[in-house]
Structure 1
Amino acid sequence: MRWFLEGDEVSSRFLSEQELQLNSIDDVNAWKPCAVFVPGNVVPSFIPGLKVAVFHGFNAGKINRRGRLDHFEIRGCFDLYCTQGPETTTPFKKLADKYKYFEVVETGWPTLDPLFENDESNPYVDHDDERPTILMCSTFSRNLSCAPILFDKIKELSDKGNWRWLIQFHPKMPQEIVDKYKSLQNDNVKFIETDNVLPLLKAADVMLCDTSSVLIMFLMLKKPVVTFRNQSPEPHLINITEVDDLEASLMEALHMSTEHKVRIENYVDHIHPYKDAHSSVRVVEAANEFLDVGENKRKPLNLLRELKLRKKLGYWKV
Structure 2
Amino acid sequence: MEVRKSSKRRYLLYIAQNYSYAMLRPLQQVILARGDEVCWFLEGREVDPKFLKADEKRLPDIDAVKAWKPDAVFVPGNVVPSFIPGVKVGVFHGFNAGKMNHKGREDHFEIRDCFDLYCTQGPATTLPFLELEKKFGTFTVAETGWPALDPLFIENKDNPYIKPDDPRPVVLFCSTFSPSLTCAPEVFEQIKALSQKSQWRWLVQFHPKMKPSIVEQYKTLENENLQFVETDNVIPLLQAGDVMLCDTSSILLMFLMQRKPVVTFKNQSPKAHLIDINRVEEIEPAITRALSRTDDLMAHIHDYCNQIHPTGDGQSSQRVLAATDALIDKGTAWLKPKPLNLLRHFKMRRKLGYWKLF
Q: Fold-level match, TM-score > 0.5?
A: yes
Residue of structure 1 equivalent to 2:343: 304
Confirm whether residue 187 of structure 1 aligns to residue 224 of structure 2.
yes
TM-score, length-normalised on structure 1?
0.98
Q: Residues of 2 paired with 1:180 and 1:111: CA distance?
A: 30
Q: Which of 191, 206, 217 lines up with 1:169 in the alignment? A: 206
Q: Map 1:1-318 to 2 at 5 A.
A: 1-296=38-333, 297=335, 298-318=337-357
Partners in 2 of 1:255 and 1:64 — Cα distance? 36
C-alpha RMSD of matched pairs (Å): 0.9
Query: Which shows bigger deviation, 74-83 or 156-165?
Result: 156-165
Return the letter of the residue paired with 1:308: K
**Letter of the structure 2 residue corresponding to residue 312 of structure 1:** K
**What is the DSSP-based 3-state SS (H/G/I as helix, E as strand, rest coil) of the residue aligned with 1:36?**
strand
| Number of equivalenced pairs | 318
State the distance in 1 between where 2:49 and 2:149 align. Answer: 21
Q: Which has the larger displacement, 113-122 or 224-233?
A: 113-122
Alpha-carbon distance between aligned partners in 1 of 2:340 and 2:352, rounded to the nearest angstrom: 19
* Higher mean displacement: 221-230 or 292-301: 292-301
Specify every segment of 5 or more residues in structure 1 that has no aligned partner in the other structure, as ranges.
none
Provide, for residues 199-232 of structure 1, a one-character-per-residue CA deviation record: whole Å limited to 9, x for no partner.
Answer: 0011011000000000000001100000000001
SS at match of 1:160: coil
SS of residue matched to 2:332: coil
Any idea what the Cα deviations from partners look like across 1:271-317, whole Å, max 9, x if unmatched?
00111111111111101101112434311110001110000000000
Scaled by the length of structure 2, what TM-score is found?
A: 0.87
Q: Percent identity between the aligned chains?
A: 60
Corresponding residue number in structure 1 for 2:10: none
Amino acid at match of 1:301: L
CA distance in 1, matches of 2:44, 2:184: 25
The worse-fitting range, judged by mean Cα deviation, of 121-130 and 95-104 is: 121-130
Q: 2:44, 2:351 within 8 Å by CA — same for their partners in 1?
A: no
* 1:221-252 superposed Cα distances (whole Å, 9 cap, x missing partner): 10000000000101100000111111110110
Report the 3-state secondary structure (helix = DSSP H, G, I; strand = E; otherwise coil) of the residue aligned with 2:237. helix
